[in-house]
Structures are given as C-alpha cells and as structure tokens.
Amino acid sequence: MMKTLADYMEMSYRMEIVEDKDEGGFVVSYPDLPGCITCGETVESAVLSALDAKRAWLEVALEEGIEIYDPDNLDDYSGQFKLRIPRSLHRLLAEHSKREGISMNQYCVYLLSRNDAIFSK
C-alpha cells in the first residue's frame, strides 16, 4: 500500500539541530531525508521551518517517485556488539576501569561517548 503525504508527515523522522556559529542562527536537517535542510534565527523558528521543509521535501519526493525511507528506529539497535581486541588492550582497559571504580563496560562506553562527541563536531 502506497503511503500518503499525511502518512509520512506523521512519522517521527529524527531532526538534527546545529548552531551556525559563522552566520548565526540554527541549521536543521533530517538525516533520513537526504538534502532536507533549513535554518532559522532561533531554535523555535528553525524547527517551524524544518516542518515546512519536511512537507515540501516529501511532496517533491512523492511527485518525482523518489524513494522515501522510513525513519531510523532505535528498536533496530540492541545496544550490544561484540568486539575482539588484543589481550594487552583488554588488560589496559580492565586496569583503567578498576582504577576508576567502574566496570569495564561502563569505562568503554565512557571512552566511546567521549570520542564520538569529539569526532561528530
């Protein structure tokens, strides 16, 4: 069954809001809708513009027959993955986590989060 514009507008597409430090204001995009991007002087105005941009993007995609993907869903991720590492690194991680008084899993989540924040800027 073909989805309508209303069907797509009801879907919870993830919105990313980034401050534009060069020009001022905020830039908003929808990662699951490639090229759907807008801006506003305040977060509130950027979000309102984003809803209009989403509608316009979906209208064009439906008219042009462009494939529209369903929004990414956190239910698709278990929060677990298996990783093979050298024994020497395993030992270092175990020692550092013990020194911090937390589990090695918590320590690794901390390290991954810290580095993800650095590299996602």
Three-state SS string over the chain comes to CCCCHHHHHHCCCCCEEEECCCCCCEEEECCCCCCCEEEECCHHHHHHHHHHHHHHHHHHHHHHCCCCCCCCCHHHCCCCCCCCCCHHHHHHHHHHHHHHCCCHHHHHHHHHHHHHHHHCC
pLDDT tens digit sequence for 51-77: 999 999 999 999 999 999 999 887 778
Q: Say if residue 121's pLDDT is above 80.
A: no
pTM: 0.64
The pLDDT value given to residue 101: 92
* Per-residue pLDDT band at 92 (split at 50, 70, 90): very high
Q: How far apart are CA 118 and CA 112, in angstroms?
A: 10
Q: How far apart are CA 113 and CA 99, in angstroms?
A: 19
Q: Which pair of tokens denotes residue 27?
A: 């830039």
The pLDDT value given to residue 81: 86
Of the candidates 87, 119, 94, the one whose C-alpha atom is nearest the C-alpha of residue 108 is: 94
The pLDDT value given to residue 113: 87
Is residue 71 within 8 Å of residue 86, measured between CB atoms? Answer: no
The pLDDT value given to residue 1: 77
The pLDDT value given to residue 3: 92
Of 79 and 1, the one with more pLDDT: 79
The pLDDT value given to residue 80: 87
pLDDT tens digit sequence for 8-45: 999 999 999 999 999 899 999 999 999 999 999 999 99
Is residue 14 within 8 Å of residue 30, measured between CB atoms? Answer: yes
Is residue 108 within 8 Å of residue 115, measured between CB atoms? Answer: no
17 Cα distance to chain centroid: 10
The pLDDT value given to residue 120: 67
